[in-house]
């Protein structure tokens, strides 16, 4: 897979400053050169993470993202510039990263990570960076990493608060030990909750830092002692706290042998699948955004039912003869809504799914 890698030029001035660090040297630089890291998600986290990893001389980067560059993301997605708007993120990222360091091998997959492709996409890499922004993807990456027995570096941002953790389910807890279900306060993604570029950028940078730390520890045979620890940063007060995540003996993923882990789809449809369903008919749309978002744009025939109503225990009456698709702006609130239905036995429905990537994915991929 990585046989086209150019030889490492140790004399290259590019790496001299980092190689001077104690514990780095030629051994460290070779380790980076021979390493391959998968970055899932090229948003506010993935942007600085990939830039720093390629700049540092990580030999192979795998980029996985199905989206296109959107102008509303440019304030935090510093991999991209104005001229990239509308381009596939993986293609624009490849150009930018090769301009940064032409020796990086880039493997680009322009699609969303899904249960059907996760094993294939991730199996060739030494380490996985989870730079996605929703729990559906976080869980899928966690489960695939556990199945493949690979370490994963997770980060998330909620307004001014960032969370960072490295997991390797063969040696530590996993993300599902920490969050068996998506926590209510972390459900909104950046686009909905609002975020400053440097806040999410700090977390992506820390992911890159942890990745380099992991590779250097491996190269020098020292232990990487960050596994199974959650770091919480408050970028408003500059406070940082950390705590160990205990392994949950009842964890649905890491308590079982890797070969028994099955990657599951969280009852979701893609934008393209929704377009087909709408053409076929017999589908109802439950829109869980706020009134003002609904007023701006909604799919014809949708029912507006903001997420907070579901959280207050108010559920709509849904016609059982239809398949219902819950949608929101980016697929985060809709996943939470789906879980609220599933948790409520009286309201549980078989034919209920949510729209992955939300209406923004639908509008950019189907309507364009």
Binding site for Zn ion (CB under 5 A): 174, 176-177, 251, 254
Strands in 352-355's sheet, in edge-to-edge order, are 268-269, 352-355, 323-327, 283-287, 303-304
Min CB(174)–Zn ion separation in Å: 3
The answer to whether 176 touches 244, Cβ cutoff 8 Å, is no
d(CA 118, CA 104) in angstroms, rounded, equals 23
Min CB(142)–Zn ion separation in Å: 8
Percentages helix, strand, coil for the chain (3-state, rounded to 5) are 40, 20, 45
Min CB(252)–Zn ion separation in Å: 8
Which residue lies nearer to Zn ion by CB, 88 or 186?
A: 186
Which residue lies nearer to Zn ion by CB, 159 or 252?
A: 252
d(CA 231, CA 58) in angstroms, rounded, equals 24
Which residue lies nearer to Zn ion by CB, 105 or 142?
A: 142
Could you give the 3-state DSSP secondary structure of residue 62? strand
Which residue lies nearer to Zn ion by CB, 152 or 283?
A: 152
Q: Phi and psi at residue 208, in whole multiples of 5°?
A: -60, -40
Min CB(248)–Zn ion separation in Å: 5
Which residue lies nearer to Zn ion by CB, 61 or 152?
A: 152
d(CA 130, CA 166) in angstroms, rounded, equals 10
Which residue lies nearer to Zn ion by CB, 171 or 344?
A: 171
Which residue lies nearer to Zn ion by CB, 29 or 169?
A: 169
Min CB(145)–Zn ion separation in Å: 11
The answer to whether 54 touches 95, Cβ cutoff 8 Å, is no
Residue 280 parent element (H or E): helix 271-280
Could you give the 3-state DSSP secondary structure of residue 355? strand
- Residue owning tokens 């960050």: 226
Which residue lies nearer to Zn ion by CB, 226 or 354?
A: 226
Q: DSSP letters of 224-259?
A: -TTBTEEEEEETTTTEEEEEE----TT-TTTTS-GG
d(CA 342, CA 348) in angstroms, rounded, equals 5
Min CB(109)–Zn ion separation in Å: 26
Min CB(141)–Zn ion separation in Å: 13
Min CB(262)–Zn ion separation in Å: 15
Min CB(68)–Zn ion separation in Å: 34
Q: DSSP letters of 311-346?
A: HTT------TTSEEEEE-SSSSHHHHHHHHHHH-TT
Which residue lies nearer to Zn ion by CB, 96 or 176?
A: 176
d(CA 326, CA 8) in angstroms, rounded, equals 50
């Amino acid at each position: 897979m990585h046989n086209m890698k150019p030889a490492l030029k140790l004399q290259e001035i590019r790496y001299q400053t980092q190689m001077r660090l104690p514990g780095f040297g030629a051994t460290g630089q070779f380790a980076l050169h021979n390493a391959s890291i998968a970055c899932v998600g090229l948003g506010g986290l993935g942007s600085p993470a990939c830039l720093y990893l390629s700049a540092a001389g990580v030999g192979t980067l795998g980029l996985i993202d199905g989206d296109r560059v959107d102008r509303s993301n440019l304030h935090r997605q510093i991999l991209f510039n104005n001229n990239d708007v509308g381009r596939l993120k993986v293609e624009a990222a490849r150009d930018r990263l090769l301009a940064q360091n032409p020796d990086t091998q880039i493997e680009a997959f322009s699609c969303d990570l899904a249960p059907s492709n996760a094993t294939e996409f991730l199996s060739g890499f030494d380490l996985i960076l989870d730079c996605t922004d929703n729990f559906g993807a976080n869980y899928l990456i966690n489960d695939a990493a556990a199945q493949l027995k690979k370490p994963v570096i997770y980060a998330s941002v909620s307004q001014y608060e960032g969370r960072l953790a490295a997991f390797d389910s063969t040696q530590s807890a996993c993300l599902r030990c920490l969050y068996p279900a998506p926590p209510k306060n972390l459900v909104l993604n950046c686009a909905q909750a609002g975020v400053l570029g440097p806040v999410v950028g700090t977390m992506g940078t820390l992911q890159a830092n942890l990745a380099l730390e992991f590779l250097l520890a491996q190269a020098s045979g020292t232990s990487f002692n960050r596994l199974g620890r959650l770091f919480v940063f408050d970028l408003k007060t500059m406070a940082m706290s950390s705590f160990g995540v205990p392994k949950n003996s009842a964890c649905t993923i890491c308590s079982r042998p890797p070969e028994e882990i099955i990657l599951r789809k969280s009852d979701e449809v893609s934008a393209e699948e929704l377009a087909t369903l709408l053409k076929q008919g017999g589908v109802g749309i439950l829109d869980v955004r706020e009134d003002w978002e609904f007023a701006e744009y909604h799919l014809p025939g949708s029912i507006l039912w903001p997420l907070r109503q579901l959280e207050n225990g108010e559920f709509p009456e849904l016609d059982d003869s239809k398949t219902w698709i819950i949608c929101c702006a980016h697929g985060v609130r809709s996943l939470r809504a789906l879980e609220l239905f599933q948790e409520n036995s009286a309201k549980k429905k078989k034919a209920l799914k949510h729209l992955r990537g939300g209406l923004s994915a639908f509008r950019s991929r189907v309507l364009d």
